[in-house]
C-alpha cells in the first residue's frame, strides 16, 4: 500500500467512513473550501495546477454562485455607505 493509500485508510478509520475517499474527491473538497473562503479564482487555479481560469471555472463553476451573491452584497453595502460620492 502506497503512502496516499495509507493516509486515506487512516482517515477512513479515524472518522468511521463507509468508503475510501478518492484523491479527486479530496481535490474537489479543497477547491470548494477555497471558494467558500473567498479565495480569488486565480489563486485556486494555481493551487490545483490549471493553466488558465477557464478550466477552473468549467470544472468547479457550481461553487461560485455563493461568492457572486456575497460580492453583490458587498458592493450594495459599499454603495449604501458611500452614497455621498454619487
Query: Cα(53)–Cα(27) distance, rounded to whole angstroms?
Result: 16
- Nearest Cα neighbor of 41 from 24, 23, 25, 61 is 61
| Each residue's pLDDT tens digit, 32-68 | 888 778 788 889 888 888 887 787 777 776 666 666 6
pLDDT at residue 41, rounded to an integer: 82
Average pLDDT over residues 3-14: 87
pLDDT at residue 65, rounded to an integer: 64
Bigger pLDDT: 79 vs 86: 79
pLDDT at residue 71, rounded to an integer: 76
Amino acid at each position: 500500500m502506497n503512502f496516499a493509500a495509507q493516509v486515506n485508510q487512516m482517515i477512513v478509520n479515524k472518522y468511521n467512513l463507509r468508503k475510501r475517499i478518492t484523491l479527486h474527491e479530496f481535490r474537489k473538497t479543497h477547491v470548494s473550501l477555497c471558494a467558500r473562503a473567498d479565495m480569488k479564482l486565480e489563486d485556486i487555479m494555481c493551487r490545483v495546477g490549471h493553466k488558465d481560469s477557464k478550466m477552473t471555472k468549467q470544472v468547479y463553476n457550481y461553487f461560485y454562485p455563493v461568492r457572486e451573491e456575497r460580492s453583490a452584497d458587498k458592493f450594495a453595502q459599499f454603495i449604501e455607505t458611500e452614497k455621498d460620492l454619487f
